[in-house]
Structure 1
Amino acid sequence: MKFTLGLPVHNVDPVEEWCSAEAITVMARAAEDAGVDAVNVTDHPIPDAKWLSRGGHHTLDPFVALTVAATATTRVRLQTNLVIVAYRNPFLTAKAVATLDTVSGGRVVVGTGAGYLRSEFAALGVDFDERNLLTDEAIDAMKAAWKGEPFDFEGTHFVAENALALPRPVQRPNPPIWIGGNSNLAIRRSVERADGWLPMPSPAGATRLLRTPPLETLDDLRDRIAYLRGHVEKVGRTDPLDIVFMPIGLDGFREELPEAGPLVEQVHAQAELGVTALSITLPSPSRAAWLENVEWFRREVVAHA
């Protein structure tokens, strides 16, 4: 089992405790020393206050934050979790990804999804109802740009004629793309356009807010994986596909660590279902406490995975 660990840069008070270059450097190095395979950050450029008051969170720009993490580390991979490609012209995102992959020596993982926060789409001038179309289109456009050859591409709101984007990413043919979301559409997008599927635990009560089907138990996950494998067979995919889930019940906003034993049991249970990596968020009441929690995770979980 591989692990991708969230850097708690959603904490912005005090900003120097979490969001400075020094803070990101220390945290990224701690994650690498703990033996995790990737660090990740999320993407919310302009959330609304109501969402924030109901449990939402701030973020840094994911590419800036991960660039700092890249300069502080040598091995750990750098994952967006999730960058919403519909928010931006896809060629701007393609350039950011290619730049980060270049300066990091080929360590980027592009976690992306269609997005769900309607007010954020409105603030960015993007039609919420076009989000799935724009997501598929952006993935195709980025792959075209990453080939390092002149290309033409006509999108819904843009046209590229005889365009060329260099340098291309270090990873060939492109950095891995993981698709977030629990829906059949997200699963099909993962199988048809990407390299991994990244669902999330979601209680039935959050379905309306997050606009994704509930996924509350390992039985729910088993059913979703069965649908994924059926679609793999249907389209004749032969390339491997990562499945990246999260431990059910381990919320990064909780104040206490879970018990190690049940967490390790869940790691093994998810591996048996076909999960290849776990996305982990750890409690972060302070940076010092978070660093202690990372060491606990290395000792009590990674060592037994």
Structure 2
Amino acid sequence: MASDSTAYGMTLRNFVTYPDLPNPIHLIEQAVWIEKLGFESVWVWDHILLGVEPHFPIIDALSLLTAVAARTNRVKLGTGILILPLRNPVLLAKQLASIDLISNGRLLPGLASGWYKREFDACGVDFHRRGKIMDESLEILERLWTEEKTTAEYSPYNLRSAVMYPKPAQQPRPPILIGGYAERVLRRVATKSDGWLTYCYTAASYAADKKRILAFAEEAGRDPSTLSFTNQLPIAIGPREKIEGPMKEWLDTEWDFAAGSQSTADSAIIGTVEECAEQIQAHLDEGLDRMVFMPYRYQDDQVEAIATQLIPLLT
């Protein structure tokens, strides 16, 4: 069975398919309910623009987490993921530190370099430099959060005796999780983060890339045991013969699996509670610190079944 240290999170559906629009009040109340159900963390998605036909209206991740922070007391607040190169890192350092303070140290920033070029073009950010921008932005966040006074130049950001207070509630800073799949990203995870946040990986694919990250950490002289590992997985609880088809259709129409990544609809956990527990065990056996659920169509009965029926079988 799962280790007692395994944590379980739940995603919020802060994006929908047009002409539907996300309901912020419902999302906040959903987060309050998720906390009451006992989940360790609640996670939101991030895009500025997403899609054309169809397109997906989405509520800003940080604005929503700020509201959730004010209505909850215990549950951790995760971004899965926040597209770092699209943000001014100095402003972002202030925003994230403030959310961490408002939530009394519950922020879990998951960050990645992004994949949707149209979004970068609209924001005036060079898509082809996003890796370099990501690395420099990570350094800026780290330094502004941990140094009393920062002097450095990361074009176009000229930090001259930059003093940023108050610092985050979590010291020396909130844990940074990095998402992605390319080798350079896995090396970034191993050397510049506190852990890997992945998305829709099968147990086998997760194990293979986790092994690579641990090797990269050792190669860089870092203790691999200091890294944490989180996988976001779609799940549908119910008789497989009834729910597998609708689940596959939902994943095909509303979710994207980046070309070249190991993310796949085949990662979906599907079946009765007992069958789902068995499938999840394959992930836990590979050493997973946190599993974040993406429930079928975000139906309340799915969320409740995960909390009250499935998780008790895993702990």
Scaled by the length of structure 1, what TM-score is found? 0.85
- From 207, 210, 213, give the equivalent of 1:228: 213
Q: Secondary structure at the match of 2:62?
A: helix
Q: Give the C-alpha shift of residue 249 in structure 1.
A: 6.5
Report whether the alignment pairs 1:19 with 2:18: no
Q: Does structure 2 conserve the Cα–Cα contact (< 8 Å) formed by 1:82 and 1:113?
A: yes
Question: Match of 1:193?
Answer: 192
Of residues 5, 9, 33, the one that matches 1:4 is 9
Contact 1:148–1:168 (CA under 8 A) maintained in structure 2 = no
Using the alignment, how far apart are the partners of 2:203 and 2:122 within structure 1?
Answer: 36
Q: Is the 8 A contact 1:27 1:291 kept in 2?
A: no
Please give the residue correspondences for 1:76-155 in structure 2 after superposition, counting only pairs within 5 Å. Answer: 76-147=75-146, 149-155=148-154
Aligned-partner SS, 2:307: helix
Query: CA offsets, 1:228-253, max 9 Å, x none?
Result: 11112111212521111133666794
1:295 offset after TM fit, Å?
Answer: 1.0
State whether residues 189 and 196 of structure 2, in contact with CA within 8 Å, keep that contact through their aligned partners in structure 1: yes
Checking the alignment, whether the CA contact within 8 Å between 2:235 and 2:293 is kept in structure 1 is no
**2:43 paired residue number:** 40
Instruction: Give the conservation status (yes or no) of the 8 Å contact 2:14–2:44.
Output: yes
Question: What is the total number of aligned residue pairs between the two structures?
Answer: 280
Q: Give the counterpart of 2:270 among 258, 266, 279.
A: 258
Structure 1: which 5+ residue stretches go unaligned?
202-214
Task: Name the % identity.
Answer: 26
More strand per residue: 2
Aligned equivalent of 1:204:
none
| Separation of aligned partners in 1, 2:56 and 2:278 | 30
CA shift, 1:148, in A, is: 5.2
Moved more, 175-184 or 121-130: 175-184
Residues 74 and 248 of structure 1: CA distance in aligned 2, closer, same or farther (over 3 Å) = closer
SS at the partner of 1:49?
coil
Question: Are residues 1:284 and 2:293 paired?
Answer: no
Letter in 1 for 2:40: D
Contact 1:257 1:282 survives alignment (8 Å): no
Structure 2 counterpart SS, 1:284 = helix
Aligned partner of residue 75 in structure 1, secondary structure: coil
Q: Given residue 299 of structure 1, which amino acid in structure 2 is its aligned partner?
A: T
State which drifts further: 235-244 or 171-180.
235-244
Question: SS of the residue aligned with 1:273?
Answer: coil
2:269/2:279 contact within 8 Å kept: no
- Deviation, 1:302, is 1.6
Label 1:249 to 1:186 Cα distance change in 2 as closer, same or farther (>3 A): farther
Instruction: Deviation per CA, 1:137-159: give whole Å up to 9, x if none.
Output: 11110011112511112113221
Instruction: Go from structure 1 to structure 2 and tell me whether the alpha carbon gap of 1:248 and 1:185 turns closer, same or farther (over 3 Å shift).
Output: farther
> Could you tell me how far 1:200 is from its partner in structure 2?
2.1
Cα RMSD, aligned residues only: 2.3
Change (3 A) 1:48 1:157: farther
> How far did residue 61 of structure 1 move?
1.0
Q: Is residue 100–residue 106 contact of structure 2 (8 Å, CA) maintained in 1?
A: yes
Which amino acid in structure 2 is aligned with residue 262 of structure 1? E
Equivalent position SS for 2:303: helix
Selected match of 1:293 from 283, 302, 306 = 302
Preserved CA contact (<8 Å) 2:105 2:169: yes
Bigger CA drift: 242-251 or 163-172?
A: 242-251
What one-letter code is carried by the residue in structure 2 that aligns with 1:33?
A: K
Unaligned runs of at least 5 residues, structure 2: 1-5, 237-246, 255-267
Q: Give the aligned partner of residue 161 of structure 1.
A: 160
TM-score (norm 2): 0.82
Give the whole-Å Cα distance in 2 for the aligned partners of 1:191 and 1:257: 28
Which residue identity does 2:169 align to in structure 1?
Answer: V
Amino acid across the alignment from 1:271: L
* Number of the residue aligned with 2:243: none
Q: Which residue of 2 aligns with 1:273?
A: 286
How far did 1:179 drift? 0.6
Which amino acid in structure 2 is aligned with residue 237 of structure 1? Answer: R
